[in-house]
Amino acid sequence: MKLPVATALAWALITPLAITGASAAELQTGGKLLLTGGVSALEGGAGGGLATWGVIAGNETRDGIGGKVHATFIDVSDYTLRAYGGAVGFHDRVELSATRQDFDTGPTGAKLGLGKGFTFKQTILGAKLRVLGDAVYDQDRWLPQVAIGAQYKTNDQGDIVHAVGGQHDSGVDYYVAATKLLLNQSLVLSGAVRATKANQTGLLGFGGDKSDRYKAQFEGSAGVLLSKRLVVGGEYRSKPSNLGFAKEDDWMDLFAAYAINKTVSVTAAYVDLGDIATFRNQRGLYVSLQAGF
């Protein structure tokens, strides 16, 4: 498994660079309107931040191939999470993404008996297919833009995952996401239903001593467009609680996404991740820097 994962990750990160290089002479980037491709979700594809959306990453329309790279940093009371990766959007129809997440327990690692700075690493490979609707143009109908997708996640700490009751060190999430821009109200709404076994999105493995079955979870975002460049809003993401040693909470955030220009955007959020691995009330800052093309 290791090799294909690494190859795919490298491919997803390098392809964007190659494409950018090839089209640099044309002096044009993308054809989408600002922020209509969403921002990068924590799991790599286009989304709002914690939630995955039904839009396809990158600035390209159905006539091109675009994409987005991101570096994301979350700093809550007892942990930090670093994520980086990229997504390629083919003809505004298909999205392939690869993301690496490092969940750093820092000083908390010692208290958990794992050792200071113990870090769980997770690789996520995603594929998304847009199936109907257009989030931006379909302003005369209620139909949102709908996409289906899957995320293959693999965790590098199988032994610890098993020690805390996790059943698997890899797993696949399946989701349906629906996203709609409501221009008449200057709102953007998105909701997704995800079938998952993941503990803390997979950072603590998949399935647990309490349950090893797929459960349907909801994730949603609502934002208001304050200018062409700025969207502010909030998100909610429900999660299963499969592990006996520590209950798992739903996640939420309040975010602001700002497009500095067509290429670079920043998301900043206040996140509440609830209890994580017995440490309570994990709240703090989420910052993500993105480059789209």
In the bound state with other proteins, the residue whose beta carbon lies nearer, of 134 and 156, is 134
DSSP for the chain?
-HHHHHHHHHHHHHHHHHHHHHHGGGT----SPTTTT-EE-TTSSEESSSSB-SSPSSS--TTSEEEEEEEEEEEETTEEEEEEEEEEEETTTEEEEEEEEEEE-TTHHHHTTS-TT-EEEEEEEEEEEEEE--TTT-TTS---EEEEEEEEEEES-HHHHHHTT--BSEEEEEEEEEEEEETTTTEEEEEEEEEE-BSGGGTT-BS-SS--S-EEEEEEEEEEE-SSSEEEEEEEE------SSS----EEEEEEEEESSSSEEEEEEEEE---BTTB---EEEEEEEEEE-
Is residue 261 part of the contact set for other proteins (CB under 8 A)? no
Is residue 137 part of the contact set for other proteins (CB under 8 A)? yes
Is residue 136 part of the contact set for other proteins (CB under 8 A)? yes
In the bound state with other proteins, the residue whose beta carbon lies nearer, of 227 and 278, is 227
Select from 6, 77, 111, 186 the one that contacts other proteins (CB under 8 A): 186
Is residue 7 part of the contact set for other proteins (CB under 8 A)? no
How many Cα atoms within 13 Å fall on the side-chain side of residue 83?
30
Is residue 139 part of the contact set for other proteins (CB under 8 A)? yes
Is residue 142 part of the contact set for other proteins (CB under 8 A)? no
Select from 3, 4, 140, 159 the one that contacts other proteins (CB under 8 A): 140
Select from 28, 77, 278, 281 the one that contacts other proteins (CB under 8 A): 28
In the bound state with other proteins, the residue whose beta carbon lies nearer, of 208 and 292, is 292
Select from 110, 131, 226, 260 the one that contacts other proteins (CB under 8 A): 226
CB of 186 to other proteins, least distance (A): 5
What mask, x for binding other proteins by CB under 8 A, covers residues 34 to 63? ---------------------------xxx
Beta-bridge partner residues of 35: none
In the bound state with other proteins, the residue whose beta carbon lies nearer, of 8 and 222, is 222
CB of 31 to other proteins, least distance (A): 3
**What SS3 state is found at 45?**
coil
* Residue span binding other proteins (CB under 8 A) among the ranges 2-10, 49-57, 138-146, 208-216: 138-146
Select from 18, 24, 132, 183 the one that contacts other proteins (CB under 8 A): 183
Site for other proteins (CB under 8 A): how many residues? 25
**What SS3 state is found at 21?**
helix
Is residue 33 part of the contact set for other proteins (CB under 8 A)? yes
- The number of beta carbons lying within 10 Å of the beta carbon of residue 244 is 12
Radius of gyration of the chain (CA): 18
In the bound state with other proteins, the residue whose beta carbon lies nearer, of 5 and 182, is 182
Binding-site ranges for other proteins (CB under 8 A): 28, 30-33, 61-64, 92, 134, 136-141, 182-184, 186, 225-228
